[in-house]
A and B are shown apart, each in its own frame.
Chain A
Amino acid sequence: MIFGLTFPETAVIGLLFAAIQFGAMIYLASLGEMIAERAGVLNLGVEGMMAMGAVGGFVFAIETGSPWLGLLAAAVIGAAVAMVHGLFAVALGANQVVSGLALTIFGVGLANFWGTDYEGVRPEVQFADVDWGPLSDISWIGRILFQQSPLAYSAVLLGFVTWFVLNRTRGGLALRAAGESAATADAAGHSVLGLRLFAVAIGGAFAGIGGAYLSLSISPGWTVGVVAGRGWIAVALVIFGAWKVRRVALGAFLFGLAMALPNRTESFDLPWDPILWSMLPYILTIAVMIAGALVLRNRPPAAPAALGLPFRREER
C-alpha cells in the first residue's frame, strides 16, 4: 500500500502489458507522422490512414487466411491513401492542413464503406502473441515484455530503423534537409518532391500498420469507429515527443498507460469517478504541453523549420 492505494501484482503486470500494447500501436502511427514531418510535410490524415489500414488489414487477413499478408496489405494501403495527401499537399502544393483533414474524413469514410460487409464478422484470422520460450516464462517481465503481439516487436524494430536511417544515413540527412530547408536540399541536388513523397508514403504505411494492430491483434475484427481518435493522439505525440524517436516512444508508452489505467480502476481499487478517469489521456496531453512549453521556452523550436511549407522551385 502506497498512499492508501493497493498494487496487486497481477493488476500491475496487466497494466504494463496493456500500456505497451496500446503504446506500440500509437507509436507506429506516430513514428510515421514524425517521418513525414521531418521531411516538412504535416499530415493530419493519420486517423483516416489508420482506419484504412485497420479495415484493409482485416479484409486481406480474412480473405487470404494469413495475418502477415493482412499486415502487408495494411502497409501498402496506408501508403497508397497517404499518396492522396502526397498528390495535393506535396506535388500540387495545396494547404497541408486542409488536405490532411480531408484525408482523415475521406479515409474514415472509405474505410467504413469498404468494411460494410466485414462489420462484426468473426475474426478467424488474427496475430497470436509471440512465445519467446524461456524468456516468456520469467516472472513479471516475461508477461510484460515477452508475450506481446508480433506487432509490438515490429514497432520497436521500426523505431530503431527510423532512428538509424534519419540520423546515421545520407538519405536520412537529405530527408531532414527537405524538412529544415527545402531550398538547400534542392541546391544539394536532392529531389525535394521525391523525398517528401517518400516520407509521406512511409508515414502512411506506418499508420496502416498501426491500424492493423487494432484490427488484427488488440481487438480483432472490423467495426466502424475502431480507431476511435487514436490517430489524433498519434499526431499530438509527435509534437509531444519533439520530433525525436526516443521521446515519441516514451510519450507513446505514457499514453498507453493513460489508455490502460482507466480500464483497471477496479483492480487497483481506485475510488474516483470513471468518467473523470477517461479524461486522463487528455489531461496528460495538456499537462505535458504546458510543462514542455515552460521548460523549452528559451530553446530554439524543435519543429522542422520548413514544416508545413510547400516547396516550389520557381519561387525559391
Chain B
Amino acid sequence: MKSTKSTKALLRLLALLMAFVIIAAACGDDDGDDGSGDDGGSAVSDDAGDEMADDGDMADDGDMADDGDDMADGDDMADDGDDMADDGDDMADDFSAAFLYISPIGEAGWTWAHDQGRLYAEEATGIPTFFVDSVNDGSPADIEAAIRTLVADGHDVIIGTSFGYMDTMEAMAAEFPDVVFEHVSGYKANDTNFGNTFGKIYQPRYLTGMIAGAATETNQIGYVAAFPIPEVARGINAFTLGAQRVNPDVEVVVQWTSTWFDPAIEGDAADALLEGGADVIAMHQDTTSAGLAAEAAGARWVSYNSDMSEFAPDAYLASAIWNWGPRYAKIISSAADGSYVPGFYWGGYEDGIVDIGSIAADVDADVVAQVEDIRQQMIDGAFAVFSGPLFAQDGTQLLAEGEVMDPGMLLGEAFFVQGVVGDIG
C-alpha cells in the first residue's frame, strides 16, 4: 500500500515537472525569437529555456525551425550542442563576444547603458555580440553556468558587467586561457586574459551636483545611496563638492538602502529624504523609483547610469551617464587581432566613457555655462574633482591647498567629505 502510494506520488511529480518543462521550453523559444527581432539579428540566449528546449526531445522540430534565422546570422549557439566542442575551434571566421548582465535591459539604467555599449561595439567592429541577462551576481553557480555555456558556444570575449562576477570570472579566465575575460567595476586582473574596466563616473557626478546645488531651495539634497563602498562614497563626495561649488550652504543627506535594484525600498528611502526637507534627490541604484518619488512630491531629481528624463519629466534635472561603446569596441577588436592586453582601465572624461545627460530646460543659463566650462576642463584633463583644500566630514583636512588626491586614496575612498550628512557605517 505504502509503496503504491509513493509510486503514484512520484508519477504525479514527474507529470508536473514535464508540464513545466514543456511550458518553459515554449517560453524559451519565443524569447529567443523576440530578442533577435528587436536587436537587429543578434540572438538572445537569456533563458534556461533555450537549453531545456535543446534537451527535450519533444521540442526539437519546432526549435530547429525557429533557430533557423539565427543560424543565418552566423550564430553558433543554434547548433544545439551536438558539436559544441567543434564550435570553439573554428573561431577564425566566427569571432564573437558575449556579455553577462545582472538585470534585464529595460529602457534605462545600468544594464541598458551596457547594452548600448554592446550595440555600439557590434556596429563599430562588425563582430557579432551576444548577451545573457538577469545573471544573479550573488550566485557563483549561476555565473559559472552562464560562462561555461558561453564558452561552449564558442564565444571568444566575455564581458561581465556586475561587481559580483569578479571572482568567478577570474577562475574561468584561468580555466579558459584562449578566451578574453573583461570584468567591469571590480579590482582584479591577470597578465594574460583577464582585465578590468571601470570609469570615473564621479566626474559627471560633480557636474550634476553643481546643477542640483543651484536648484535646491531648502539647501538640502537627499542622496539615495546603495552600499557603503568606495564607488558609491566617491560619487556622493564628488556630487557634494559640485553642489558646494555653486552653493556653499548646501547639505547632502545620505540614506542607505543596501540594494542595487529594489524599487519599493528605493522609492521609500527617497520619500523619507523628501519628508526630511530635501527638495532634490540624487541616487545610485539601477531603478527609476527615486525619480518617481521626487516627481510625485513635486521635487527635483538627478538620475544616474542613463538619461532618464522621460521617466519623471518634471522632476528631472540632469544625469551622470555611461558611454561604454568605444571601450567595448576596443576590447573586442584588440582581442580579435591578438593585441589585447589586460590591465586596470579606469577612464574618465578624457576618454569619453562618462558624460552628463541632458540638462533640464529650466536650469539657470549661468549654471549651465559653468557646468560646460568645467566639463571642457575635465575633457582636457585639467580639472581634478578631489583637490585641496579638502576636508573630511568631521572637519579634518584631507588635502592642502594645491594638492590633488592620489589614485590610491581615490580608489579606496571610504569616507565622506564635509557637507555630507550621514554615516558611512
A residues with a Cβ closer than 8 A to B are: 8, 10-11, 13-15, 18, 22, 88, 92-95, 98-99, 102, 105-106, 109-110, 112-113, 116, 119-123, 214, 218-221, 223-226, 228, 259-260, 262-267, 271, 273-275, 277-278
What residues of B have a CB within 8 angstroms of the CB of A113 in the complex? 27, 30-31, 47
Q: Does B383 contact A (CB under 8 A)?
A: no
A227 to chain B: closest CB distance in Å? Answer: 9
Question: Contacts A263-B272, A266-B276, A275-B258 known; A223 to B106 CB distance under 8 Å?
Answer: yes
Of the listed stretches B163-171, B185-193, B259-267, name the one at the interface; the rest are far from the partner chain: B259-267
Q: Does B319 contact A (CB under 8 A)?
A: no
What residues of B have a CB within 8 angstroms of the CB of A109 in the complex? 24, 27
What residues of A have a CB within 8 angstroms of the CB of B105 in the complex? 119
B265 contacts A225, C-beta separation under 8 Å: no
Q: Does B151 contact A (CB under 8 A)?
A: no
Q: Does B7 contact A (CB under 8 A)?
A: no
Distance between Cα atoms of A218 and B267 in the complex (Å): 8
Contact among A106, A260, A271, A278 for B258, CB-based, below 8 A = A278
B residues with a Cβ closer than 8 A to A are: 9, 12-13, 16-17, 20, 23-24, 27, 30-31, 34, 47, 103-109, 112, 134, 227-228, 253-259, 261-269, 271-273, 275-277, 287-289, 292, 310-311, 421-423, 425
B292 contacts A123, C-beta separation under 8 Å: yes
What residues of A have a CB within 8 angstroms of the CB of B263 in the complex? 214, 219, 221, 223, 226
B268 contacts A94, C-beta separation under 8 Å: no
A112 contacts B104, C-beta separation under 8 Å: yes
Whose C-beta in chain A lies nearest to the C-beta of B46? A116
Whose C-beta in chain A lies nearest to the C-beta of B262? A228
B256 contacts A274, C-beta separation under 8 Å: yes
What residues of B have a CB within 8 angstroms of the CB of A219 in the complex? 263-264, 266-267, 287, 289, 292
Question: Contacts A109-B27, A121-B107 known; A224 to B271 CB distance under 8 Å?
Answer: no
What residues of A have a CB within 8 angstroms of the CB of B103 in the complex? 223-225
Contact among A13, A99, A214, A266 for B16, CB-based, below 8 A = A99
What 3 A-B pairs come out closest when comparing CB atoms?
A120-B106, A219-B263, A274-B256
Contact among A8, A22, A116, A226 for B276, CB-based, below 8 A = A8
Interface of A is mostly: helix
Distance between Cα atoms of A267 and B34 in the complex (Å): 46
B253 contacts A266, C-beta separation under 8 Å: yes
Distance between Cα atoms of A113 and B261 in the complex (Å): 18
What residues of A have a CB within 8 angstroms of the CB of B277 in the complex? 10
A10 contacts B255, C-beta separation under 8 Å: no
B108 to chain A: closest CB distance in Å? Answer: 6
Contact among A18, A122, A225, A264 for B311, CB-based, below 8 A = A122
What residues of A have a CB within 8 angstroms of the CB of B276 in the complex? 8, 10-11, 266-267
Question: Contacts A88-B12, A94-B9 known; A274 to B425 CB distance under 8 Å?
Answer: yes
26 chain-A/chain-B pairs, Cβ below 8 angstroms: A8-B276, A10-B275, A11-B272, A94-B9, A95-B9, A98-B13, A102-B20, A110-B27, A112-B104, A116-B104, A120-B108, A122-B311, A214-B263, A219-B267, A219-B287, A223-B106, A225-B103, A225-B261, A263-B255, A263-B271, A265-B423, A267-B273, A274-B228, A274-B257, A274-B258, A277-B258
B258 contacts A266, C-beta separation under 8 Å: no
Distance between Cα atoms of A94 and B227 in the complex (Å): 43
A55 to chain B: closest CB distance in Å? Answer: 12
What residues of A have a CB within 8 angstroms of the CB of B261 in the complex? 223, 225
Distance between Cα atoms of A15 and B264 in the complex (Å): 14
Question: Contacts A218-B264, A275-B425 known; A266 to B272 CB distance under 8 Å?
Answer: yes
A18 contacts B268, C-beta separation under 8 Å: yes
What residues of B have a CB within 8 angstroms of the CB of A277 in the complex? 256, 258
What residues of B have a CB within 8 angstroms of the CB of A271 in the complex? 423
- Further pairs besides A10-B275, A218-B264: 11, Cβ < 8 Å: A11-B275, A18-B272, A106-B23, A119-B105, A121-B107, A219-B263, A219-B287, A221-B288, A228-B264, A259-B265, A274-B425
Whose C-beta in chain A lies nearest to the C-beta of B30? A113
What residues of A have a CB within 8 angstroms of the CB of B255 in the complex? 263-267
Distance between Cα atoms of A268 and B81 in the complex (Å): 57
Distance between Cα atoms of A166 and B258 in the complex (Å): 40
What residues of A have a CB within 8 angstroms of the CB of B104 in the complex? 112, 116, 119-120, 223-224
Distance between Cα atoms of A116 and B228 in the complex (Å): 31
What residues of B have a CB within 8 angstroms of the CB of A225 in the complex? 103, 261-262
B292 contacts A273, C-beta separation under 8 Å: no
Question: Contacts A18-B271, A94-B9, A224-B103 known; A102 to B254 CB distance under 8 Å?
Answer: no
B18 to chain A: closest CB distance in Å? Answer: 12
B16 contacts A116, C-beta separation under 8 Å: no
Question: Contacts A113-B31, A119-B107 known; A263 to B257 CB distance under 8 Å?
Answer: yes
Question: Contacts A102-B16, A110-B27 known; A267 to B134 CB distance under 8 Å?
Answer: no
Among B16, B24, B288, B289, residue most surrounded by chain A Cβ atoms (within 10 Å): B16
Question: Contacts A109-B27, A274-B258 known; A94 to B12 CB distance under 8 Å?
Answer: yes
A251 to chain B: closest CB distance in Å? Answer: 19
B101 to chain A: closest CB distance in Å? Answer: 11
B315 to chain A: closest CB distance in Å? Answer: 13
Among A8, A10, A266, A267, residue most surrounded by chain B Cβ atoms (within 10 Å): A266
B310 contacts A263, C-beta separation under 8 Å: no
Among B34, B227, B425, residue most surrounded by chain A Cβ atoms (within 10 Å): B425
A3 to chain B: closest CB distance in Å? Answer: 18
A116 contacts B34, C-beta separation under 8 Å: yes
Distance between Cα atoms of A278 and B275 in the complex (Å): 21
B264 contacts A214, C-beta separation under 8 Å: yes
A260 contacts B268, C-beta separation under 8 Å: yes
What residues of B have a CB within 8 angstroms of the CB of A110 in the complex? 23, 27
Among B20, B23, B256, B273, residue most surrounded by chain A Cβ atoms (within 10 Å): B256
A266 contacts B264, C-beta separation under 8 Å: no
A182 to chain B: closest CB distance in Å? Answer: 17
A263 contacts B106, C-beta separation under 8 Å: no
Contact among B16, B23, B30, B292 for A221, CB-based, below 8 A = B292
B394 to chain A: closest CB distance in Å? Answer: 14
Whose C-beta in chain B lies nearest to the C-beta of A98? B13
What residues of B have a CB within 8 angstroms of the CB of A15 in the complex? 272
Distance between Cα atoms of A226 and B289 in the complex (Å): 11
B26 to chain A: closest CB distance in Å? Answer: 10
Question: Contacts A123-B292, A224-B103, A271-B423 known; A98 to B16 CB distance under 8 Å?
Answer: yes
B240 to chain A: closest CB distance in Å? Answer: 15
B256 contacts A265, C-beta separation under 8 Å: yes
B268 contacts A263, C-beta separation under 8 Å: yes
B265 contacts A263, C-beta separation under 8 Å: yes
Question: Contacts A99-B16, A113-B27 known; A267 to B258 CB distance under 8 Å?
Answer: no
B201 to chain A: closest CB distance in Å? Answer: 20
